[in-house]
Structure 1
Amino acid sequence: MTKRSRRASKLTRAEYEEIYNFYYVRKGLGCGAIGKEIGVSKSSVFRNFNKYGFQVRSNSEGSKLSNQKWSDEEIATIHQHCHIKNKMTFEEIAEVHGISPAQFSARCAELGLQVRSQAEAMTCFWEKRESEIREMYEYYLDGAKISKEIASELGCSTSQVYRCFKHFEYQMKSPKGSNLTDKDKFQIVELYSDERAPREIEENLGISSSTVRKVLKEIGVELRPLDEAVNLALARGRDKTRNSINANIKLDFFEQMTPELAWFLGAVCSDGSIGSNYGLNKTTSSFSLASIDKDFVEKLGALVGLSPSKSIQSTSSKQIWTLRCSNKHFVSHLEGLGVCNNKSSTVTIPEAIRPELMRHFIRGYFEGDGCVCVNLNGRVRFSLSSKSRRLIMSVAKELYEQAGIGIQSKRRSLSCVNLLNCPYLTVYVVKEKSDLIMYKIETSALSMIEKLYRYLYEDVDEANRMNRKFNKFEKALGGL
């Protein structure tokens, strides 16, 4: 509760009655003006007046009463003296005379009094600050301050600073690249021949990198390819100042199939995606993986050299942790291992995963799209869902063949898609929305869930599992 809310809650009915009679009835003030007088919000005044049964004016009645405070002659006087002669803004008039900017503007319109246009108002604003601007201009000419610093002190943009200088017909300095001498051009070519990048030349000479490229093109110097330029910069140690999310990627992680890579691929097939962004000049490959579990995302990121970033889910206040990069080699490795674009309904278990590593892939997929919980009857229930029928059927098959996890009783559901006499866990079709079809496997058989727990987590290091779901398993099964 804010200080103003606490202040409003402390006032009694008798005090509000006194405020109502004195300020609202006698002086004709509105709820907002009363709130300023007694130190509470407008809504608190209005709410408490209604609470205690005090009659309040309608909006039209309030506007009419407010207009009666100021006669036409008073409005005309304020307009002539303040707005025209002293060039005051509506906000400044409001502070001096207590009439709102909107009300003053409306009354001027009723009386046919001409007010300044936005451009004229801006001109008046700068003219009143002419002495201050003149002082800033002298700093600008001497080189003591650049336009960006002047804009910060004046509380405006850099372009407004230049427009203001132009308004007062101040002579502006020519940009460094607008009148280059032969010596400047020679230095540009010399530095570029010394394997310096345009941005490094900009730092040394104060000539923008775009002008550097333009000069080199005019002279006929062929620019280096991007990959060659990057390698030269890295060789000189320029990476020390880089803050790129691609700088620490571990591409060698994908060279050999390991339990860690199988777990990572399971998580990618569940919560990750890859794609391509097509621009006019180039195509950018991208990767992202998101989860509400920070521990899970940090562990996956440590495997590939990515750090998670934080955002807020649009549909709730939950924090989302994301791994992302735009590295074509990273994406091509994933594509080579069987991860495809727009994978939701077509994803399947990558062929590169050997049978002995299958449980690590399934663990990664379960930690993304699976659930284990205790229902209202005290029974433990496991479930795993996917848009891909092919993947969920493959997982059910692997669970049966590798861990003996299968159906325990006769199938009765009409929504199952298993073949007749199929021993795998039942795969159900679930329509969550009219246009969304999901496939799910689940079981509440305690013996199957115990097998599943051991299959997924036996001899698995803490660095290669999601602690939250592992702890749920242990709690549900009584710490097996």
Structure 2
Amino acid sequence: MTKRSRRTRKLTRAEYEDIYYSNYVGEKLGLGATSRKLDIPKTNLFRNFKKYDLPLRSNIEATQLSNRKWSDRDIEKIYQNEHINKKMTFEAISKVHGISPSRFSARCAKLGLKVRSRAEANECFWERLASEVLESHMLYFDDDVTVEEIAKEQNISTYQVYERFKHFGLESKRPRGSNLTDDDVSQIVKLNAEGQAPREIEENLGISSSTVRKVLKKLEIEPRKHEEAVNLALRRGRDKNRKSINANIKFEFFEQMTPQLAWFLGAVCSDGSIGFNYGPNKVTCSFSLASIDKDFVDKLGMLVGLSPSKSASSTSSKPIWTLRCSNKRFVNHLEGLGVHSNKSSTVTVPDTIPPELIRHFIRGYFEGDGCVSKTSKGTLRFSFSSKSEKLIRSVAEVLFEQAGIGICGKRRSLSHVSSPNCPCLTVYKRSAKDSDLVMYVISSSSLEMLEKLYCYLYQNVDEAYRMNRKFNVFKKALGSL
């Protein structure tokens, strides 16, 4: 216990007066020396001497008295005999001679007597311990005492006892790993091959998990990656209460380009994002995709093995449904397919999608950032918007080449960025008020173009791979015309 928390017997006035006159006045000890001698907190002495009107020395008087009591010759003698020859620390010297460590250190500094460096102090520490460690080791090997008894006697831990033996090159009766038989090692290897973690092996064999790891490392068996280990544990029923969002990811979904994968990539390019968090020890990869349409998010989640989570929206009364995971392999797949971080203004149609599947990518993007609505004049209009001019231009070109959706009439607005002779839908540049946000938009209110877009996006597409909400709006709007 520290002095602050130590409880002492409450002394009477007569006892404090006796301490004052016999120690403080008679022996001319300071408050610190009296405190160490009688094992009474220094603060208690100071407060009670004041309380009982027992006069104390001023700082100047205490310094002069200390300097008279310990002459320069005394300090030099103590320094040479105790600190240099006997390798004693200042704290040990203070207990023997009644001078505080700080005072002794200050007097030594004043006389130019150097204190040992940290390395020298460490060496002296082991020199002082040498005889004690050798004696305890001899008793240990003669079976007179155990390591636990040595630790208790010296008021240290068993780990420190072994460390002291190790420092002096002394052997232990049971060095690490020596109690493992060949059968134990083979059992460890077998259970590890079956997918058991070191902690599970510890439960089954009674061998500590740290020893299991050392055995595997010695045999040059590579440890499993954390993600793989977690998934194996979950499949075997370990940590049933743990809900790992990475446990059921379908990585095989990314191995071959399919209409479903192209649709998923389109949705990611509109409403999704990937990022990297660079910490002091590791880089964390993250993926997220959010939408207010739960049915849409559920269908995308089914494709990749992720479950949506619900959160409140700061801009809408409707909740937001989000797919998210922090999985390096998942993010690497997306990057390999052409989706990158900070994609808002640089995203484009991935080169990995063949021409015959691009319509599925555009459908996924349209269901995220596209719109079908009626104008104030009662006409129907569709539009695509993005911060990426390159993406909108690519979509306009694909719609013209594959669906025959192009410009109808002349370009009257001055805000377009398309070339005069381009037959594709006009790309308009829109700037938000009081903001640096710039969006690029293609749109058309031609009934012919609307019907072509509807057929291009949704013809022969299963209900499981489309957003029903926008599909129904599209179909209803066309049916009402």
Q: Where on the TM-score scale, by shorter chain, does this alignment land: which range?
A: 0.5 to 0.7
* Residues 227, 375 of structure 1: alpha-carbon distance in 2 compared, 3 angstrom cutoff: same
Q: How far apart in 1 are the matches of 2:274 and 2:372?
A: 28
Contact 1:381/1:444 (<8 A) preserved: yes
Q: How far apart in 1 are the matches of 2:270 and 2:397?
A: 18
Give 1:264's aligned residue.
Answer: 264
Q: How far apart in 1 are the matches of 2:206 and 2:318?
A: 46
Give 1:448's aligned residue.
Answer: 449
Q: How far apart in 1 are the matches of 2:231 and 2:364?
A: 35
Give 2:77's aligned residue.
Answer: none
Q: How far apart in 1 are the matches of 2:393 and 2:363?
A: 16
Q: How far apart in 2 are the matches of 1:233 and 1:291?
A: 29
Give 1:425's aligned residue.
Answer: 425
Q: How far apart in 2 are the matches of 1:230 and 1:349?
A: 31
Secondary structure at the aligned position of 1:275 is classed as strand
- Is 1:332 the equivalent of 2:329? no
Task: Summarize the alignment of residues 4-15 of structure 1 with structure 2, pairs less than 5 Å apart.
Answer: none
Give 2:350's aligned residue.
Answer: 350
Give 1:240's aligned residue.
Answer: 237
TM-score, with normalisation over the residues of structure 2? 0.55
Contact 2:198/2:213 (<8 A) preserved: no
Deviation at 1:365, TM superposition (A): 0.4
Deviation at 1:309, TM superposition (A): 1.0
Deviations 1:406-426 (A, max 9, x none): 111111111000001211111
Deviation at 1:201, TM superposition (A): 6.3
Q: Name the stretch that deviates more: 413-422 or 234-243.
A: 234-243
* Residues 466, 346 of structure 1: alpha-carbon distance in 2 compared, 3 angstrom cutoff: same
Contact 1:216/1:222 (<8 A) preserved: no
Residue identity matched to 1:464: Y
Q: How far apart in 1 are the matches of 2:418 and 2:175?
A: 80
Task: Summarize the alignment of residues 193-272 of structure 1 with structure 2, pairs less than 5 Å apart.
Answer: 195=192, 197-200=197-200, 213=210, 226-227=223-224, 239-241=236-238, 243-272=243-272
Give 2:368's aligned residue.
Answer: 368
User: C-alpha root-mean-square deviation of aligned residues, in Å?
Assistant: 3.7
Secondary structure at the aligned position of 1:332 is classed as helix
Residue identity matched to 1:240: G
* Residues 257, 206 of structure 1: alpha-carbon distance in 2 compared, 3 angstrom cutoff: same
Secondary structure at the aligned position of 1:477 is classed as helix
Give 2:6's aligned residue.
Answer: none
Give 1:305's aligned residue.
Answer: 305
Count of matched residue positions in the alignment of Structure 1 and Structure 2? 302
Q: Percent identity?
A: 64
Secondary structure at the aligned position of 2:457 is classed as helix
- The runs of 5 or more residues in structure 1 that have no matched partner are 1-176
* Residues 303, 233 of structure 1: alpha-carbon distance in 2 compared, 3 angstrom cutoff: closer
Q: How far apart in 1 are the matches of 2:458 and 2:360?
A: 9
Residue identity matched to 1:282: K
- The runs of 5 or more residues in structure 2 that have no matched partner are 1-158, 163-173
Q: Larger Rg: 1 or 2?
A: 2
Task: Summarize the alignment of residues 5-84 of structure 1 with structure 2, pairs less than 5 Å apart.
Answer: none
Give 1:458's aligned residue.
Answer: 459
Task: Summarize the alignment of residues 81-100 of structure 1 with structure 2, pairs less than 5 Å apart.
Answer: none
Deviations 1:141-195 (A, max 9, x none): xxxxxxxxxxxxxxxxxxxxxxxxxxxxxxxxxxxx9999x899979x9896654
Q: How far apart in 1 are the matches of 2:360 and 2:268?
A: 13
- Is 1:377 the equivalent of 2:377? yes
Deviation at 1:205, TM superposition (A): 10
* Residues 261, 479 of structure 1: alpha-carbon distance in 2 compared, 3 angstrom cutoff: farther
Give 2:394's aligned residue.
Answer: 394
Deviation at 1:258, TM superposition (A): 1.2
Q: How far apart in 1 are the matches of 2:418 and 2:439?
A: 15
Deviation at 1:347, TM superposition (A): 0.3
Residue identity matched to 1:477: L
* Residues 226, 468 of structure 1: alpha-carbon distance in 2 compared, 3 angstrom cutoff: farther
Contact 1:233/1:239 (<8 A) preserved: no
- Is 1:469 the equivalent of 2:466? no
